[in-house]
Amino acid sequence: MSGSKSAAEIVVAGRVQGVGYRNYAQRRASNLGLAGFVMNLKDGRVRARVEGPRPVIEKFIEELGKGPPLSRVENLTVRWLPASGRFAAFGIRYAEFEQ
């Protein structure tokens, strides 16, 4: 694995469930060539775990801050992590569980 890989856990709050937010995140991440997943949390927030080059992740975070047309992002928190290399692609998870 190259040393340029980074990872982030992003939690987005606001009107982000039932508005196509996960599909939006999945499309953006795939277009940027990032790996990881996005999922809804029981409390109404959305959580994304993403791996790739840090500048690309920063672009993804910017896109998540915008969100799809029906969404309203009120708060976005980012926690930078070491890359695990576990993800081959970016997907949507449909159940909340710890990794």
Q: Would you please indicate which residues are annotated as catalytic (active-site) residues?
A: 22, 40
Strand order in the sheet with 5-15: 72-81, 5-15, 46-53, 35-40, 90-93
Phi, psi of 3 (to 5 degrees): -70, -10
Rounded to the nearest angstrom, the gap between the alpha carbon of residue 59 and the centroid of all alpha carbons in its chain is: 11
First to last CA, the chain: 21
